[in-house]
């Protein structure tokens, strides 16, 4: 018996990085998993590999989200939880962030998380009990420096959205967020290592543990917040960041 035996969970952004590691771990722990991602081929490849359902979805599009969540719930015979891991990065500051880049970053990272919660909550309520885990970011708590204004705003928004949803959806649905530090995924590939493949010292020196993280280390924390082991936790923003923010 796994720690998620019998649970039916949607993982958005499950085709890559933290979402993929989470989908894989959840399957190992006995859950049925639906991978929702805008990337059809990658989602299907992951789903085939781990024995999950793949559903194409653009989380920034309300019609796409409601159709994909309904399809996932139908495929799994219901819904007990969601992990919102779909996201995009933008790394420009106030002066050089075009309006459309700011809007797109908010649309995927913040509005997308909201839309999935809105579509999924009735299914989870129908199941009687469940969880939502949103992937925010350590920069949503404390930015690492200037720049990334849209990304930071979107992730701080996810922390607030999580708290609001936790109040509104209690006691049936527990809603928590995790706030990763730098994790080695496609999103960070351009920065996390130097040209010779060594860890980027400019990133590593920010962390008490002196290194960046791996997707599996985030998946473990997301599993904890999805399992009954965290049954008295809701509305929190849990840093999983090698000691950068010390919250
Ligand atoms: P990733 O790029 O490896 O994976 C992101 C996934 O989201 C991809 O599969 C992509 O196709 C999907 N996606 C993007 N836009 C989408 C959309 N509109 N609709 C549906 N799917 C979409 O990145 P990752 O590092 O695994 O990031 C996962 C989450 O963790 C993101 O929310 C990211 O902001 C957050 N995060 C990552 C880090 C890090 O250092 N990697 C740190 C803090 C927070």
For each of the chain's 247 residues, which pLDDT tens digit applies?
A: 799 999 999 999 999 999 999 999 999 999 999 999 999 899 999 999 999 999 999 999 999 999 999 999 999 999 999 999 999 999 999 999 999 999 999 999 999 999 999 999 999 999 999 999 999 999 999 999 999 999 999 999 999 999 999 999 999 999 999 999 999 999 999 899 999 999 999 999 999 999 999 999 999 999 999 999 999 999 999 999 999 998 6
pTM strictly above 0.75: yes
CA of 37 to the centre of ligand 1 (A): 10
Ordered domains of the chain (ranges, CATH): 8-183+216-233 (3.40.50.720)
| Rounded distance between C-alpha atoms, residue 148 and residue 245, angstroms | 17
Encoded tokens for 136: 């925010």
Atom of ligand 1 nearest to the CA of 139: 43
Encoded tokens for 194: 């130097």
Contacts of 110 (CB under 8 A, 6+ apart): 154, 157, 158, 161
Q: What pLDDT is stored for residue 19 in this prediction?
A: 98
- Residue 213 in contact with ligand 1 by CB distance below 6 A: no
Active-site position among 151, 155, 165, 206:
151
- Residue 105 in contact with ligand 1 by CB distance below 6 A: no
CA of 227 to the centre of ligand 1 (A): 22
Q: What pLDDT is stored for residue 25 in this prediction?
A: 98
- 82 in helix, strand or coil? strand
Protein residue with least CA distance to atom 39, ligand 1: 183
Protein residue with least CA distance to atom 3, ligand 1: 17
Contacts of 201 (CB under 8 A, 6+ apart): 194
207 is catalytic: no
Q: Which of 100, 185, 67, 96 is nearest to 135 (CA)?
A: 185
């Amino acid at each position: 018996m796994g720690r998620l035996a019998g649970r039916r969970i949607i993982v958005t952004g499950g085709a890559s990085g933290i979402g993929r590691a989470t989908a894989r771990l959840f399957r190992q722990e006995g859950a049925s998993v639906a991978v929702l991602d805008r990337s059809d081929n990658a989602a299907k490849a992951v789903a085939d590999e781990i024995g999950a359902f793949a559903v194409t979805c653009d989380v920034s599009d309300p019609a796409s989200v409601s159709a994909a969540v309904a399809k996932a719930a139908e495929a799994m015979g219901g819904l007990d939880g969601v992990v919102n891991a779909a996201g995009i990065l933008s790394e420009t500051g106030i002066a050089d962030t075009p309006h459309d880049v700011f809007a797109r970053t908010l649309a995927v990272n913040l509005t997308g998380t909201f839309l999935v919660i809105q579509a999924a909550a009735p299914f989870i309520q129908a199941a009687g009990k469940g969880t939502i885990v949103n992937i925010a970011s350590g920069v949503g708590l404390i930015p690492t420096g200037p720049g990334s204004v849209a990304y930071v705003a979107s992730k701080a928004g996810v922390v607030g959205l999580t708290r609001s949803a936790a109040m509104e959806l209690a006691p049936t649905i527990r809603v928590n967020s995790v706030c990763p530090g730098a994790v080695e995924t496609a999103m960070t590939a351009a920065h996390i290592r130097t040209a010779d493949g060594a860890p980027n010292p400019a990133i590593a020196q920010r962390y008490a543990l002196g290194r960046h993280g791996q997707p599996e280390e985030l998946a473990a924390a997301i599993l904890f917040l999805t399992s009954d082991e965290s049954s008295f936790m809701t509305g929190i923003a849990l840093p999983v960041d090698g000691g950068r923010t010390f919250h």
